[in-house]
A and B are shown apart, each in its own frame.
Chain A
Amino acid sequence: MATLAPGVKTGPYHAVLDHIHPEPTSFIRRYIFSIDAKVIGIQYMITGGLFFLIAGLLAEIIRAQLMSPTGAVVTPATYNAIYSMHGSAMVWMVIIPLVSGAFGNFVMPLQIGARDVAFPWLNLAAFWMFPVAGIILFSSFLVGAPDAGWTEYPPISLQGPPGTSLWCIAIFLVGVSSTLTGINFAVTMLKMRAPGMTFTRMPLFVWAQLATSPLLFVATTALGAALAALFIERTFGVPFYDPAHGGSPVLWQHMFWFYSHPAVYIMILPVFGIISEVLPTFSKKPIFGYKMVAFSTVSIALLGFTVWAHHMFTSGMVPWLQLPFMILTMLIAIPTGVKIFSWMATLWGGSIDWKTPMLFATAFLITFTCGGLTGFFLAAVPADYHEHGSYFVVAHFHYVLYGGSVMGLFAGFYYWWPKITGKMYNETLGQLHFWITFIAFNGTFMPMHWLGLMGMPRRVAIYDPQYTFWNQFASISSFILALSMLIFLYNMLIWTFRHGKPAGPNPWGGRTLEWMISSPPPYYNYKKIPAVLAAPYDFGNPLPYIGLDAAPGAVEATPTAESHPVPTH
């Protein structure tokens, strides 16, 4: 049982795993400029979390303004800057870094049985671009923040305040960070899986990161080109987008959305991976339809490149072009539906333990489905002629981004917090956070479907008085939603460290590799690289991994003369 069966493929990577270098001793090398992917992952969590709080505050200013149809909390000019920065920060400085940089760095190498990512120094460089980019973005408030939405359509963005140019630089920089991370992760997952971890034995979180990585390095560069063109047009008058100089505003839309649609899949696919981890662990049964879920993940990533112009149905593009984009957008619903049904079937027949990660993951199924269904309403071109540019769109994307990505991120935080910190959070506070969030979230965004269909446009500081009641309802719900964050922060940042019980290696009884070692993991992750004998999530089987508590005769990594005495596990 403890040896590799003859002929079992060992995977591409074994010899290099021997070395364990000594841990650095200085504070700077351990916590500031660390090349340990786990430390980098935590740094992404802290930075992304901080930006989430700032961008969330901006959202509350938006909702405060919209409490009244003639709101005067801020001037219209300031309001425009606030919602533009809210959107830009949430997409590029919160969700993308958290789903890829934070969880990808901390969890993925552990789940494939690696000690780190393929290029740790590149990882370090990519991380530090992120807070610098965030500072550049937020510093735009000092010179006149960008005010034409996170989409910054020209010609208005060409005339925008100086902060628009800072926005170009900041997003370009965080895009470089994303690109490097995508390359790093792709090579890691393709080349550094532990012996025996074939593709069909990879956890689905790893599949999700693998499908996301080409989006990170292919799509992001397209955005870089668009941003560079906007910047040089603003700064040097080089005409790409200004019709007064022969350019085309629609060109920007094509270039921007060619990235920004795959970007939304960057924001959701790793979260799909989180759900695929949480549901089996708390149902104590394998994920249902593993192969189809993996296949669907990859299909969504690929199809995601083909649908960008569904954001442009009313833009003046040639009508016949609307058809293929409509059909392809509708097609994405099929693999997405397969995943939703597979997740539901994972719940069926389970032995379900309703801890906080499970609550968020299950609620995700409901809220993400809502968002997906309204996406279908938007895909149908004649319906989109009514819905585009209205609050219906705002409702849709908040359902998939908050009801999807953020709720999934909460599930991931609660799930892996014991592994990261070594301590248990407070379960009662977690459940309280969940219920308030779930109810307040729906209260905030459900009315917006209606507001949009009834004719309320988006990106407005004032509105027709007929929309007052539901705007107030949404605003009050959003204040409650914001307050619920305080419970989460207190629980994770204070209570866990003061009162949390030691978590031990596997508080949830999970079956993926990260649960086989201590919490928090040692800096080298695995003293001996495990050899993987079976699929993850097989709760009915005996422990399938060897190398961790290796029996004599098992395949073991041999320390070389160069490594220092290895600490006991």
Chain B
Amino acid sequence: MAVSVAKQGYHLGHGEVDDHHDTVIYNETRDMRLLGFVLFLCADVILFSSFIFAYIYLRTTVSPVWPPIMDGKQLPRLDVAFACFNSVVLFGSGVTMHFAMEGWRHAKRGMFNLFMGLTIVLGAGFLAGQGYEYMHAKIGGWSGSIFGASFFTLTGMHGFHVFVGVCYLIVLWWQTSRSVYTTDRYFGLTAGTLYWHFVDVIWVALFFLFYLW
């Protein structure tokens, strides 16, 4: 079969071969995989942007008031205070992720493990917080109004992405314990970091759109 470039790079990146020629190969495949992953994130941005457009359109053009009226009464706004707290949790996990990668790059395993663990815990904590928010938000449920429709759909998609991200980080952490990555070959960790920061950036937008605006 014709060469499978990414697979080749995967083997190389997993410390299976070690010489200069293979470093060149690794760097090239890493660049390809990085580009592919970035393009995937671009597509994901469009997915969120489409629903964000729908929310903005419904809120500004269709509904006469916001929050909209359901069953004759205007719905309440969402609770900003709790969401602030939960946002700090999520953004904090972005900070800890950054430090985890710093630790990795400087071969400080202890630092990496501590901050990676914190990132996963904070990510899971954010999901728990969202669960709490879903139970306590009194905006008529998912199908009650366009408020619920846009809020639960968008934050639900985001929460699903966070969930996948937490799982991905757990898998990556486990892989580091099996010495899959080295201090100069760690594309999987790069992808994980990028994905985690992407999830953070989306939340910035959603927090602004649903809680502050």
Residues of A participating in the B interface, judged by any CB pair closer than 8 Å: 12-13, 15-17, 19-24, 29, 34-37, 115-116, 118-121, 179, 182-184, 186-187, 190-192, 217-222, 224-226, 229, 232-233, 236-240, 245-248, 251, 254-255, 258, 523-525
Q: Is B208 positioned at the interface, with any CB of A under 8 Å from its CB?
A: no
Contacts beyond the supplied A21-B1, A224-B47: 11 A-B pairs with Cβ under 8 Å:
A15-B28, A16-B25, A116-B5, A119-B36, A183-B40, A218-B42, A229-B51, A246-B68, A247-B58, A254-B53, A254-B57
Q: Is B149 positioned at the interface, with any CB of A under 8 Å from its CB?
A: yes
Majority DSSP secondary structure for residues of B touching A: helix
Docked-complex contact A255 and B50, CB < 8 angstroms: yes
Query: Given A191-B31, A248-B61, is A222 in contact with B4 using a C-beta cutoff of 8 Å?
Result: no
Could you say which of B3, B53, B143 has the most chain A C-beta atoms within 10 Å of its C-beta?
B3
Residues from chain A with a CB closer than 8 A to the CB of B148 are: 238
Docked-complex contact A183 and B43, CB < 8 angstroms: yes
Q: Is B39 positioned at the interface, with any CB of A under 8 Å from its CB?
A: yes
Instruction: Please provide the chain B residues from 31 to 80 with a CB less than 8 Å away from any CB of chain A in the complex.
Output: 31-32, 35-36, 39-40, 42-44, 46-47, 49-51, 53-54, 57-58, 61-63, 68
Alpha-carbon gap, A37 to B3, bound state (A): 11
Query: Given A22-B1, A116-B3, is A246 in contact with B28 using a C-beta cutoff of 8 Å?
Result: no
Docked-complex contact A115 and B2, CB < 8 angstroms: yes
Q: Is B145 positioned at the interface, with any CB of A under 8 Å from its CB?
A: yes
Could you say which of A23, A187, A245, A523 has the most chain B C-beta atoms within 10 Å of its C-beta?
A187
Alpha-carbon gap, A182 to B40, bound state (A): 10
Alpha-carbon gap, A25 to B62, bound state (A): 60
Residues from chain B with a CB closer than 8 A to the CB of A116 are: 2-5
Docked-complex contact A184 and B145, CB < 8 angstroms: no
The closest CB in chain B to the CB of A558 belongs to B21
Residues from chain B with a CB closer than 8 A to the CB of A233 are: 149
Q: Is B136 positioned at the interface, with any CB of A under 8 Å from its CB?
A: no
Q: Is B153 positioned at the interface, with any CB of A under 8 Å from its CB?
A: yes
Cβ-neighbour of B39 out of A22, A37, A183 (below 8 A): A183
Docked-complex contact B149 and A190, CB < 8 angstroms: no
Docked-complex contact B35 and A191, CB < 8 angstroms: yes
Q: Is B177 positioned at the interface, with any CB of A under 8 Å from its CB?
A: no
Query: Given A236-B142, A246-B63, is A251 in contact with B46 using a C-beta cutoff of 8 Å?
Result: no
Q: Report the tally of A-B residue pairs with Cβ distances under 8 A.
A: 155
Alpha-carbon gap, A21 to B11, bound state (A): 14
Interface residues contributed by chain B, number (CB under 8 Å): 45
Residues from chain B with a CB closer than 8 A to the CB of A237 are: 143
Cβ-neighbour of A21 out of B3, B62, B142 (below 8 A): B3
Residues from chain B with a CB closer than 8 A to the CB of A183 are: 36, 39-40, 43
Query: Given A15-B24, A217-B42, is A191 in contact with B32 using a C-beta cutoff of 8 Å?
Result: yes
Docked-complex contact B50 and A258, CB < 8 angstroms: yes
The closest CB in chain A to the CB of B29 belongs to A16
Docked-complex contact B50 and A226, CB < 8 angstroms: yes
Q: Is B7 positioned at the interface, with any CB of A under 8 Å from its CB?
A: yes
Residues from chain B with a CB closer than 8 A to the CB of A255 are: 50, 53-54
Residues from chain B with a CB closer than 8 A to the CB of A187 are: 32, 35-36, 39
Docked-complex contact A251 and B43, CB < 8 angstroms: no
Pairs across A and B, CB under 8 Å, 15 listed: A24-B1, A120-B1, A183-B36, A217-B42, A218-B42, A221-B50, A222-B50, A226-B50, A229-B54, A238-B143, A246-B68, A247-B58, A248-B62, A255-B50, A255-B54
Alpha-carbon gap, A524 to B153, bound state (A): 46
Residues from chain B with a CB closer than 8 A to the CB of A220 are: 43
Docked-complex contact B47 and A20, CB < 8 angstroms: no
The closest CB in chain B to the CB of A217 belongs to B43
- Distance in Å: Cβ of B28 to nearest Cβ of chain A: 5
The closest CB in chain A to the CB of B37 belongs to A183
The list of the 10 closest CB pairs from A to B, nearest first, reads: A225-B50, A237-B143, A115-B2, A116-B2, A221-B46, A19-B3, A246-B146, A217-B43, A248-B62, A183-B39
